[in-house]
Chains A and B, each alone.
Chain A
């Protein structure tokens, strides 16, 4: 690589030409909207009129005091934490179980993976039907009275959505942990065994540190994926009952697209972008530190 440190002008220009198309598309498609959202967040634009009145920080002050937005954030945070904890633990557990030498590993892998091939919009509908039509039949069959109508009440809707989301994504993250597990050299386990470490000690002293890169990917991935939840809600709870399952994106959609408050909606988008960046930064930084130690 060092032999090419003196790249001639022509070559440099040609390299530029290779990068420019992607650069321009990405800039127009993602970066310009980001900048515009920031700009519009200081206006009271309704999305139609030519005039975009500058209102300063008014939208942000409103954002902080808006009970609906607070509720939406609170739901999004609960949903994100729930997913991150449950999905990581179960995905790792499943991966360890599949890697423990059981037969027909491939069939299990495919079974767990199938749900994540399905669009979230469909997953939402499937669980709506599961809770309201299919599962209550178990009560009829067994004579029990378990409450399966999880989307019907504000207290249970989060649990219902967590089940749906975990059903969809556990298989995906499990595959990542599985690949991580399979890349750990067997010598490490042998050495730990010779040192007299039991299975639990081996798990925490060999497996967990060696899985550090997988942890980073899964934790960051699940967090970002949960913060942006929207599709799942559209076809299942529609943000309800009441506003009990309104996520921040859902709230932005209702405010901006249905309520024609583009300026205020932009402020919500900006706040979400900032949260996403902050969370990713903190997570990557602290997790990468662990990776180095390992």
Chain B
């Protein structure tokens, strides 16, 4: 809305300078997309083209042999399912937990809740990667490693800080009058949250779900530490072993990259609006 206001007041003319910017940024954008183009191009190339053809040339035909090979080598039906399963379950738990935690923190003025907010924020300042070693050790002693619930537990624990921060910034959009009238009608705190507040937080939860899906889908370090069993592995871990095993035959790896990026790219392009909202929390002066 603010954007519109700006355009109304200062109509931006398309001057020569704008044209120059347009062309310059066009070139930069093309350079940015070059690696993406190369990946697609390689993913269709045959072995012969890989060794003899120019890397910059287009593939001779759209052969899908690399995709078939990648499908098998990644054990795709298993790894894709695992990644999908861990991501979906973790983000749903996160949406549920972060919503109610952030709401309680925002509404209850007791000292404990102020402390709790700061306590959770520690997790934003210290990314889990810095703690990967003790996280791995705790996982081992609590028997969380090589289990589905173990890695989901850790994804929830590592994502909860940002989730609460994000949901907290949306709390001002929930009108207090509604909550108060619910209370006067005799609703408990739980009823007020689950029946009145949670439905209003849907857009915020959508933002949270998208932001976290993207994190968890792309995670490597935690997955590599927590799930080493073949039937529990994630896509990123399988891809990394493919990278090191297929050092020379990398067009299979390129096909694997396309396979792993496409789902998350589709998610982003269809839900851009929510994604950008989540990213820019705190960046725009309220």
A→B interface (CB under 8 Å): 1, 3-5, 7, 10-12, 14-19, 21-23, 25-26, 28-34, 36-37, 40, 47, 94, 97-98, 100-103, 107-108, 110-115, 117-122, 125-127, 129-130, 133-134, 136-138, 140-141, 167, 171-172, 175-177, 179-180, 182-187, 189-190, 210, 213-214, 216-218, 224-225, 227-228, 230-231, 234-235, 249, 252-253, 256-257, 262, 265-266, 268-269, 272-273, 276-277, 280
Contacts and interface: CB of A to CB of B under 8 A. Distances in A.
B128 A30 contact: yes
B279 A32 contact: no
Given A33-B134, A184-B6, A228-B129, A14 B189 contact: yes
Given A179-B276, A249-B129, A118 B218 contact: yes
B157 A134 contact: no
Given A252-B132, A253-B132, 12 more contacts: A18-B101, A19-B101, A28-B142, A37-B131, A103-B14, A114-B36, A121-B240, A129-B250, A136-B55, A213-B285, A235-B240, A256-B133
A234 B242 CA distance: 13
B95 to A, nearest CB: 12
Nearest to A100: B21
A122 B137 CA distance: 27
A185 B5 contact: yes
Interface stretch (B61-69, B107-115, B200-208): B107-115
A272 B130 CA distance: 6
Contacts of B7: 186
**What DSSP secondary structure best describes chain B's contact surface?**
helix
A272 B17 CA distance: 46
Contacts of B21: 97, 100, 102
Given A3-B180, A14-B190, A167-B32, A183 B56 contact: no
Contacts of A32: 138
A186 B189 contact: no
17 contacts: A21-B101, A22-B164, A26-B161, A31-B122, A100-B12, A101-B14, A102-B21, A117-B264, A122-B257, A182-B6, A185-B2, A213-B283, A228-B130, A268-B133, A269-B130, A269-B133, A273-B126
B195 interface: no
Contacts of A175: 276, 279-280
A269 B137 CA distance: 13
Interface residues on B, range: 35 or more
A167 B34 CA distance: 11
Interface in B24-52: 24-26, 28-29, 32-33, 35-36, 38-39, 42
**What DSSP secondary structure best describes chain A's contact surface?**
helix
A30 B129 CA distance: 11
Contacts of B250: 129, 133
Interface in B176-232: 176, 180, 188-190, 193, 214, 217-221
Q: What are the 3 tightest A-B residue pairs by CB atom distance, in nearest-first order?
A: A29-B157, A101-B12, A33-B134
Interface of B: 2-3, 5-10, 12-14, 17-18, 21-22, 24-26, 28-29, 32-33, 35-36, 38-39, 42, 54-56, 97-98, 100-101, 103-105, 107-110, 112-113, 116, 119-120, 122-123, 125-138, 142, 153-154, 156-158, 160-161, 164, 176, 180, 188-190, 193, 214, 217-221, 236, 239-240, 243-244, 250, 253-254, 257, 260-261, 264-265, 268-269, 272, 276, 279-280, 282-285
Contacts of A171: 32
Contacts of A214: 283-284
B32 A122 contact: no
Given A182-B2, A185-B5, A273-B126, A19 B131 contact: no
Given A29-B153, A179-B284, A231-B221, A137 B55 contact: yes
A254 B21 CA distance: 46
A291 to B, nearest CB: 9
Given A22-B160, A111-B32, A134-B38, A126 B130 contact: no
B127 A224 contact: yes
B158 A29 contact: yes
B138 A11 contact: no
A29 B154 contact: yes
Contacts of A231: 220-221
B18 A102 contact: yes
